[in-house]
Chains A and B, each alone.
Chain A
Amino acid sequence: MAERILDVKNLKINFHTYAGDVKAIRDVSFHLNKGETLAIVGESGSGKSVTTKSLMGLLANNAEVIGGSIMYHDEDILKKSEKQMQNIRGKEIAMIFQDPMTSLDPTMKIGQQIAEPLMKHKKVEKKKAWAQALDILKLVGISNAEERIKDYPHQFSGGQRQRIVIAIALVCYPEILIADEPTTALDVTIQAQILQLMKELQAKIETSIIFITHDLGVVAGMADRVAVMYAGQIVEYGTVDEIFYNPQHPYTWGLLNSMPTLTSTKLEAIPGTPPDLLDPPKGDPFAARNPYAMKIDVEQQPPFFKVSETHYAATWLLHPDAPKVTPPEEIVRRHQLFAKMTHQSV
């Protein structure tokens, strides 16, 4: 079994607001294996970003962790002091942000911005740090790096800036890289380049990646495993093939069904909106939008049902007593493909 380097258990996070406590993360558990890429997928407000911020110890002031643990190298990150977290951030767990246009300091040379983590964590002197910064700048594919290292962020394009942000994140060779929608703000061709770069660097640097996105198309090419989040909870997780070709949760069905395929003539949307997390529903939070919802969905939260060793889904449809339902056409097609795939591999 692969070595687990991060183990999140029963994480619960509330945000204090004037209207009351928003239960943003409601009992989330997942783990990250060494060297793999875990994609966390979900729509806006599902709690993806909050989860990762808690891994970095960078939650907003009004956020409070009310339960759970985040074990990293047998130590609970949530119990660490701010000072201890400063030694982990940027060195062992690094992060790439969504918008490269705003995530670089406009008044600092990029060389210094890349060198900073080295000087802080590895106590490297400035000259050596800049030399290492140059190396990593070449590694992320900035051409003419010797000269450009002295430039300021506004002198770079969006794609180049995201490469620089990646360079900053990777300069200390972190064990875990959190990428929070790293390609959302980029146009499609640049997206592909950045994803390709991340894959290459992952192989070189041997880092594990937590990839946050709402774009399933990106997930397919990047991830080893996928966790689908909805309303502050994980509703289904499994390997990338299991999620794409053998999805079990109606929300995952909805997500995949709303993705364009070569044969689709019309895109299906998931009707309705996510529940208000100020006052989350008692039962399955997806019940109100779920055409397959049963009476029990409204009354009781479904537990995780095991689909395979690596694949779990929290839906009552997997209960032995549940009636057999026919998923959307597209999902049936995927299930058939999956049956073929597993048949071949067996």
Chain B
Amino acid sequence: MRKYLLKRVFYMILTLFLVASITFFLMKLMPGTPYSNQEKMTPQQIQIMNEQYGLNKPIWMQYLIYLGGMLHGDLGTSFQFSNQPVSYLISSRIGPSAQLGAQAMVFGLFFGIIVGSIAAINRNTWIDTTSTVLSIIGKSVPNFVLAVLLQYYIALKLGWFPIADWGSFSYTVLPTIALGVGPLAETARFIRTGMVDVMNSDYIELAKAKGLSRYGVVYHHALRNSLIPLVTLIGPYTVALMTGSLVIENIFSIPGIGEQFVKSILTNDYPTIMGVTMLFSAGLVVVILLTDIIYGIIDPRIRLSGNGD
């Protein structure tokens, strides 16, 4: 197991290195400069600024300098956000984004599994049909549309939760729902399909023949086996929640990373673009590793040799 983990960590670092390299050069290909009113600046001013930020050096050298800095944990200084170090920018804003993402994930998976299971157990009844229709709607409606609807009806008309901004838990409820409904719908459809298959299998018949109750059969035997295909979705979900939160954070004016990321791209704020991209990539490769480990926990058949009990 340790050998396997070491190997995986090596590949993760390799992946991150490739992401950093590709992003760096692609970013340099973007039109424009980091200066917002370049036409008013004299060539000397530009020269001075370029020297100060190291932008006068050849691109390959800038690249090596950046990589060198990154190895020491130095992600550079933002051009736009009051010259703050990127690492500080990220660490001060990661909290709300991470909290929102995690909440949306838990909300989506939890209710998705419940809705999907209920639909599967009551297959081909009105419950199943209703859940399918709702899932399709949940999957089809873009989360920013849902966000605005929630703001208008739940926050403005009913006044149950704040419309926007960031503060106590109640501020997180609407953005969590807006962000989590997509994953919820997809989870529900996945679990439903998986469980219908599982419920027709021989071991469910055997579980019934043991005299277990309907609940016992579903909870102890069907659920875990239907969860296996769902694990595959966790990776894509993470990406969806990361990118989805870009828009949602804007709508609910949440001081998260997404908002900053969009601004940094629009203003060619190279260090911030790199920093946030690397953060997202690192998050993703870690999630992929976790997914593989979760697979092994849920399904003993794919557990790695040496990782027995």
- On A, residues with C-beta under 8 Å from B are 56, 58, 85-91, 94-95, 97, 99, 102-108, 116-117, 120-121, 150, 152, 154, 165, 168-169
B206 at the interface (CB under 8 A from A): yes
Cβ–Cβ < 8 Å partners of A99 in chain B: 202
User: In angstroms, how far is the closest chain B Cβ from the Cβ of A95?
Assistant: 4
Cβ–Cβ < 8 Å partners of A94 in chain B: 209-210
22 A-B pairs with CB atoms under 8 Å apart are A56-B209, A58-B205, A85-B211, A87-B211, A88-B211, A89-B210, A95-B209, A97-B202, A99-B202, A102-B201, A102-B202, A103-B203, A105-B203, A105-B225, A106-B301, A107-B224, A107-B225, A107-B228, A107-B298, A107-B299, A107-B300, A120-B211
User: In angstroms, how far is the closest chain B Cβ from the Cβ of A147?
Assistant: 10
Mark out the residues of chain B between 40 and 61 whose CB falls within 8 Å of any chain A CB in the assembled complex.
Answer: none
User: In angstroms, how far is the closest chain B Cβ from the Cβ of A158?
Assistant: 13
Bound-complex Cα distance A106 to B298 (A): 10
A117 touching B210 by the CB < 8 A rule?
A: yes
Bound-complex Cα distance A311 to B300 (A): 51
- On B, residues with C-beta under 8 Å from A are 201-203, 205-213, 216, 220-221, 224-225, 228, 298-301, 309
Given A120-B216, A150-B309, A154-B301, CB of A103 within 8 Å of CB of B206: yes
Question: Of all chain B residues, which has the CB nearest A57?
Answer: B208
Bound-complex Cα distance A95 to B211 (A): 11
A108 touching B202 by the CB < 8 A rule?
A: no
B206 touching A116 by the CB < 8 A rule?
A: no
A89 touching B309 by the CB < 8 A rule?
A: no
Bound-complex Cα distance A85 to B213 (A): 10
A121 touching B203 by the CB < 8 A rule?
A: no
Bound-complex Cα distance A116 to B205 (A): 14
Bound-complex Cα distance A95 to B280 (A): 53
User: In angstroms, how far is the closest chain B Cβ from the Cβ of A94?
Assistant: 7
A168 touching B206 by the CB < 8 A rule?
A: yes
Given B209, B220, B228, B300, which contacts A58 in the complex, CB threshold below 8 Å?
B209
Given B209, B212, B220, B300, which contacts A106 in the complex, CB threshold below 8 Å?
B300
B210 touching A106 by the CB < 8 A rule?
A: no
The CB with the most chain A CB atoms within 10 A, among B210, B212, B216, is that of B210
Given A106-B225, A106-B299, A108-B221, CB of A89 within 8 Å of CB of B208: yes
A165 touching B206 by the CB < 8 A rule?
A: yes
User: In angstroms, how far is the closest chain B Cβ from the Cβ of A33?
Assistant: 23
Given A103-B205, A116-B220, CB of A168 within 8 Å of CB of B210: yes
Cβ–Cβ < 8 Å partners of B221 in chain A: 105, 108
A116 touching B309 by the CB < 8 A rule?
A: no
User: In angstroms, how far is the closest chain B Cβ from the Cβ of A88?
Assistant: 7
Other contacts beyond A103-B203, A120-B212: 4, CB < 8 A? A90-B209, A103-B202, A105-B203, A150-B309
Bound-complex Cα distance A60 to B260 (A): 58
Bound-complex Cα distance A89 to B211 (A): 5
Given A85, A89, A106, A117, which contacts B203 in the complex, CB threshold below 8 Å?
A106
B220 touching A108 by the CB < 8 A rule?
A: yes
Bound-complex Cα distance A191 to B185 (A): 48
The CB with the most chain B CB atoms within 10 A, among A107, A116, A168, is that of A107
User: In angstroms, how far is the closest chain A Cβ from the Cβ of B224?
Assistant: 5
Bound-complex Cα distance A163 to B273 (A): 61
A116 touching B212 by the CB < 8 A rule?
A: yes
Question: Of all chain B residues, which has the CB nearest A105?
Answer: B203
Cβ–Cβ < 8 Å partners of A88 in chain B: 211
Cβ–Cβ < 8 Å partners of A120 in chain B: 210-212, 216
Bound-complex Cα distance A341 to B208 (A): 45
B211 touching A121 by the CB < 8 A rule?
A: yes
Cβ–Cβ < 8 Å partners of A104 in chain B: 203, 206
Interchain residue pairs A-B with the least CB separation, the first 9 = A90-B211, A89-B211, A90-B210, A152-B300, A102-B202, A103-B202, A95-B209, A105-B203, A117-B210
Bound-complex Cα distance A121 to B201 (A): 23
A86 touching B212 by the CB < 8 A rule?
A: yes
Bound-complex Cα distance A165 to B210 (A): 11
Bound-complex Cα distance A150 to B205 (A): 22
Cβ–Cβ < 8 Å partners of A95 in chain B: 206, 209
B206 touching A97 by the CB < 8 A rule?
A: yes
Bound-complex Cα distance A88 to B213 (A): 12
A102 touching B216 by the CB < 8 A rule?
A: no
User: In angstroms, how far is the closest chain B Cβ from the Cβ of A169?
Assistant: 8
The CB with the most chain A CB atoms within 10 A, among B203, B298, B301, is that of B203
User: In angstroms, how far is the closest chain A Cβ from the Cβ of B202?
Assistant: 4
User: In angstroms, how far is the closest chain B Cβ from the Cβ of A111?
Assistant: 11
Question: Of all chain B residues, which has the CB nearest A56?
Answer: B209
Bound-complex Cα distance A173 to B33 (A): 81
Question: Of all chain B residues, which has the CB nearest A99?
Answer: B202
Cβ–Cβ < 8 Å partners of B228 in chain A: 107
Cβ–Cβ < 8 Å partners of A150 in chain B: 309
Cβ–Cβ < 8 Å partners of A85 in chain B: 211
User: In angstroms, how far is the closest chain A Cβ from the Cβ of B221?
Assistant: 5
Cβ–Cβ < 8 Å partners of B203 in chain A: 102-106
Bound-complex Cα distance A95 to B206 (A): 8
Bound-complex Cα distance A105 to B208 (A): 12
Question: Of all chain A residues, which has the CB nearest B213?
Answer: A86
Bound-complex Cα distance A244 to B299 (A): 48
Cβ–Cβ < 8 Å partners of B300 in chain A: 106-107, 152, 154
